[in-house]
Amino acid sequence: MVRVRVPATTANFGPGFDCIGAALGLYNYIEMEFCPRPAVEVIGEGQGEIIRDESNLVYRAAARVLSEAGVNKALRIKLENNIPLARGLGSSAACIAGGMMAANRLLGGPVPFDRIINLATEMEGHPDNVVPALIGGFSISILHEGKVIYRSFPMPDNLRFIAAIPRFHLETVKARKVLPREVPLSDAVFNLSRSALMVAAFCRGDFTDIEVFCQDKLHQPYRSQLIPGMEKVIKMATQKGALGCFLSGAGPAVICLAYEKQAPILGESMVEIFLDEGIESEYKILTPDGEGTIFL
């Protein structure tokens, strides 16, 4: 039997639409072994709503690796989920990354790691969640001629990600439908310049002006119509001393960056603003994750 731990992630990190992400200290656990017939058990988040047969996302990810290795066997999978579903914290990427890594270890590791990254990206559709889920850290990734190219940097231990998580699901497909097919050149330059400075900030560990580097014009203005209170939360967080604040993935979770002392105050304030808009939410104070998917 194989057991893995896979982290939550935040993608579209500020201005880094579809290319920048980070791994967070909130984890799903996957146990996997061969058995005579397919079986899936779910504990925690999604219990009672996640599919428990071969069409389960973790099972399909594992089966993709088995197929790559030329193996046709049934699996028993036990999922212990702590990452909220469809909230912008990488729950689907965690399923794919964890399922593929567990299956590959179960087989003895015949599929190279870079091939796992490419298979996971094919399944997820873009690399900014699956790359940090697999390798941890602050990650930049692109697709070039069908191959994922990526780099990762460690994050400061004293940095905290305060995630305000509304209690409603927002599927990525729905969140993508509100995005325009074309954007003004000025908006593209706005995001390019901030993405470059965001990466420089994490490379150097210098978060001066990172509030500015977190700004976005490619997806947040359009998705705000789906998330009442989002813009108010972002504005409040920066006014109350957050290093920066942005929509996590496709949402509806909003994340602000801060140091540990400020984190509880910011979390409570974010929840209050959402409640003023009629949205119930909770907040989690998350540490950076520098390991990605690991075997236990």
Residue 170 banded pLDDT, cuts 50, 70, 90 = confident
Using 50, 70 and 90 to split pLDDT, how confident is the model at 129?
Answer: very high
The per-residue pLDDT for 172 is 82
Residue 169 pLDDT > 90: no
- What gap in Å lies between CA 165 and CA 27, rounded to an integer? 16
In this predicted structure, what is the pLDDT of residue 171? 84
What confidence score (pLDDT) does residue 103 get?
98
> What are the tens digits of pLDDT across the range 81-103?
999 999 999 999 999 999 999 99
Report the chain's mean pLDDT, rounded to a whole number: 96
Name the H helices within the chain. 57-68, 91-106, 113-124, 127-135, 172-177, 185-204, 210-213, 220-223, 230-239, 263-276
Residue 261 CB contacts under 8 Å (≥ 6 apart), including other chains: none
Q: pLDDT digit string (tens) for 184-203?
A: 999 999 999 999 999 999 99
Question: pLDDT by residue (tens digit) across 62-85?
Answer: 999 999 999 999 999 999 999 999
Contact 66, 101 (CB under 8 A): no
pLDDT of residue 162: 98
Taking only the tens place, the pLDDT of each residue in 221-280 is 999 999 999 999 999 998 998 999 999 999 999 999 999 999 999 999 999 999 999 999
